[in-house]
Amino acid sequence: MNESTYRPQPVSFVRRGSRLQGRRQKAWEEHSEHYLLEVPRLIADTSVDPEYRLDAAAVFGRQAELVVEIGSGLGEAIVHAASAEPERDFLAVEVYLPGLAQTIQRAAALELQNLRVVQANAPEVLSSMIPQGTVSEIWTFFPDPWPKSRHEKRRLVTPSFAELVAGALAPGGLWRLATDWQHYAEQMLEVGEASSLVNLHSAWAPRFEGRVITSFENKAIQAGREIHDLTYRKSA
């Protein structure tokens, strides 16, 4: 079986360098055993065996609301949130190894106990790894916009992805999105409105106060790009 056999849709990411060095390497060596979820793979090193199920209570050692960030980057947003809300548990989903190492470095520096990271393809995480109806919030902040028209098929936010999100969310759970690309924002809105989720606003949401301004978002602001937020809720 090759990768295209079990992933009929193109993935929304490209593999970048995976080399770790300096503080990231040190953080990985010293803290990955605690923060990294080692999941069984199917073929690719970002795949998740469809038989695997996350037992969040066992992983975190308690029963708590679970927040999942899809594409956590360097961990700025999710580490800040985990520090600010110790009563909730957080899972960072990312394919970029240096980003995961940076997230672990940040979490370890704050001695966070309510955060874990996983290197995995997001649709596989939502479709099988996470038990259905168990996630309090799913965040999709600044996914790769794939701005060229011939690459738009690689965008993460699609009707099929929206239904994966809806399936993973608990009743009343929230899907929060943000992007700095106008065309992608319009696509996100179109996808959300056609999904089974309910928009909490007539269209765009006010900026999510729980999202710290990351270095990536700050660059977008400096470049003059408008940030669009969306918030959808799963009906009871």
Burial class (CB in 10 A: 0-12, 13-18, 19+), 159: exposed
Of 32, 33, 50, the C-alpha closest to 41 is: 50
Given the residues 49, 55, 89, 144, select the one marked as catalytic: 144
Q: Would residue 55 show up in a list of annotated catalytic residues for this protein?
A: no
199 strand-pairing partners: 232
DSSP string, 44-94: STT---TT----HHHHHTS---EEEEES-TTSHHHHHHHHH-TTSEEEEEE
Length of the chain (residues) = 236
Which residues are catalytically annotated? 144
